[in-house]
Structure 1
Amino acid sequence: MGGGGVLRIGTRSSPMAMAQAEHVAGLMRAQWFVREVEIVPYTTSGDRWAGSLAELGGKGVFVKEIDRAQLAGEVDMVVHCLKDMPGDEPVPEGLEITAYLPRDDVHDAVVTADGTKLRDLPAGSRVGTSSVRRTAQLKSLRRDLTVVPVRGNANSRLAKLDAGEYDALLLAVAGLRRIGLHERITEALPTTSMIPAVGAGVLALQCRSDDAESVEAVSGLDHALTRACATAERTMLRVLRGHCASPIAGYCAPKEDGLALHAAVFSPAGDVVIEAFENGLMHTPEWVGEAAANTLLDQGARALIDAIPHP
């Protein structure tokens, strides 16, 4: 830990990220051996950039700058949304995911200003999202809707909706709950029709591998079931070698004494969908993820992914 027994927590500076860090800080303060906790916010290039994230290298831009700060010793622990962590490459050498917090809600939410649900939106309605995963699945569900890119934090996106710039937004249920705006949710889409993002609803607590004191302090928060499900999902994504423009979804959930993973790869237009359903044991999540990826590859996922342009 930092000097004087202070545990320094690194996080993005957005309202949602700060709320998540405050939640984790509360968990850490509840442990008797953590004397003091300090939150250190960072505004990343991804937060400042108003264009497409693909032009900056994908969602990983939200985490890589904070990872470098952690490796430099500026902070002891980092709170990441797992879905923002690149799945096609390992955690940087010298860092480790020490704890996965219990998974929050994984559903995607439809938010409209007047309470209109997705099925009732008029043809041509403007739906705001910058997620290639959400875009592909939305086009598969409602090809008659117009998908419009939207950036910014949840609060600014909702302000744009209320100002009439969009007719609907697709946002994460978990994120809206974390910032106290769950009453804005018009409906939560079932995971069978809008398969969640890999790592959806999971907060990952990252430490330096050689920082034994911080690792010990954080490891007690690890949730074994969430770790297993997240490992299966991220293994699937790693084997597929998807890039930032690849519409890939994966949701692993407990099933009796094992795991059940639903994974899919889409064309950007949502007119091609390749799916896999794999079950496995709780203690072999890597096998579950690899099996799902290989099933997708056997059905042509490699050609589909490689055909999608990316920076």
Structure 2
Amino acid sequence: MSEVATTTAAKLAVPSQPATVTAYFGQMFNDRPPLKIGSRTSPMAMSQARQVQAMLAEVTPDTPTEIVGIETSGDKWMGDLAQLGGKGAFLKEIDRHLIMGGIDIAVHCMKDVPGDVPMPEGTLWAAYLAREDVHDVAVFREGSQYVSLEDVPPGTPIGTSAVRRKAQLLKYRPDLHVDRIRGNVNSRLARLDTEKQFEALVLARSGLRRIGMEHRATEVLPLEIMCPPVGAGVIGLQCRTGDSAIAELLRLLDHPETRTHITAERTMLSGLQGHCNSPIAGHATTTPDGQLSLHGMVFTREGGKFAYAHEWDAPERPAELGAFVSATLLRKGARGIIDGIPH
């Protein structure tokens, strides 16, 4: 995405008291069909859509909503995502429904939103929900004698769906055999236990929690070993710029600190112009003394070469911090690393 969008719809005179807000939006939407919330059809994505639906019901219980499941080409394709144009394969059908009016709100995992594809014209990110746990975890197959990646012997097969995870795993344990596994989390867990092709998978902890499988997490990987992807643990809500009322409704769900962090991360990602096969990690946080911190990393696919940067700035300057970290990574050789990876 070439820029980090903010809500640009015309400001409406939204009341500040909860009861008045409920009545305000209830009256605004009571003469129209239910608000349609568009989502991918995977169990995790549908869980996220139900979360958004529940949050909207708390704000305006008299406003009807409906979840519309959209099967994307990325969900149907079990091969390399690069052959479909990368992570955008998870978004384009949903974007099309939003632009054409088939849905009113699009629910996206921000980690799946590519950094090198412009945002669809006429849409905006109206809200970012509060960030969830960003840690990755190791999930060992049922019956495995191991509980830690540090303990497995050289050559142990480990599965992951992300080139970012593969690069960092091989940087940590270059003697492991790390291979790609596709499919939603439920299907990957089933294959782990039944096919026994892998000793363990590396997955997002928040994703396991969302599908009620957090108990399968055997080892939580420290951020020093597994830096998360840009947008990890964040749900973004997208709507049409012309729908001012919907934009204002979603704005009530926006988490300001998360928006600040996402702005820094995605500005960095945009500056790097990485493609879907680029192992790029980025994580923004607010330090105890109130500074905005941003880690950025770019790897070769096998983790043998990487560029790293960590910088700080004032919390009011997330875009400036993201641009600075991007420039620092490029100065440290990130462009050569990214361009050297086939896509």
Q: Above 0.5 in TM-score?
A: yes
1:131 to 140, 144, 162: 162
Equivalences for 1:98-117 in 2 at 5 Å? 98-113=126-141, 114=144, 116-117=147-148
Instruction: Tell me what 2:22 maps to.
Output: none
Unaligned runs of 5+ in 1: none
Instruction: Tell me what 2:85 maps to.
Output: 57
Identity of aligned residues (%): 50
Alpha-carbon distance change, 90 to 33 in structure 1, aligned in 2, over 3 angstroms: farther
Instruction: Tell me what 1:200 maps to.
Output: 232
Q: Secondary structure of the residue that 2:319 maps to in structure 1?
A: helix
Partners of 2:166 and 2:179 within 8 A in 1: no
Code of the aligned partner of 1:247: P
Instruction: Tell me what 1:118 maps to.
Output: 149
* Residue 295 (1) aligns with residue 295 (2): no
Unaligned runs of 5+ in 2: 1-28
Report the CA distance between 1:123 and its aligned residue.
1.5
Rounded to whole Å, the distance in 2 between the matches of 1:166 and 1:191 is 23
* Segment drifting more, 82-91 vs 2-11: 2-11
* Residue 240 (1) aligns with residue 272 (2): yes
2:316 to 278, 283, 286: 283
Q: If the length of structure 1 is used for normalisation, what is the TM-score? A: 0.97
Instruction: Tell me what 2:9 maps to.
Output: none
Report the CA distance between 1:3 and its aligned residue.
6.7
Q: Is the radius of gyration larger for structure 1 or structure 2?
A: 2
Equivalences for 1:220-239 in 2 at 5 Å? 220-239=252-271
2:101 to 55, 58, 73: 73
1:28 to 56, 64, 77: 56
Code of the aligned partner of 2:107: V
Rounded to whole Å, the distance in 2 between the matches of 1:300 and 1:254 is 27
Partners of 1:6 and 1:34 within 8 A in 2: no
Rounded to whole Å, the distance in 2 between the matches of 1:74 and 1:52 is 29
Rounded to whole Å, the distance in 1 between the matches of 2:94 and 2:255 is 23
Report the CA distance between 1:33 and its aligned residue.
6.2
Q: Secondary structure of the residue that 1:59 maps to in structure 2?
A: helix
Equivalences for 1:111-260 in 2 at 5 Å? 111-113=139-141, 114=144, 116-163=147-194, 164-255=196-287, 256-260=289-293
Partners of 2:111 and 2:234 within 8 A in 1: yes
Q: If the length of structure 2 is used for normalisation, what is the TM-score? A: 0.88
Alpha-carbon distance change, 2 to 116 in structure 1, aligned in 2, over 3 angstroms: farther
Report the CA distance between 1:64 and its aligned residue.
1.4
Report the CA distance between 1:146 and its aligned residue.
0.8
Report the CA distance between 1:122 and its aligned residue.
1.8
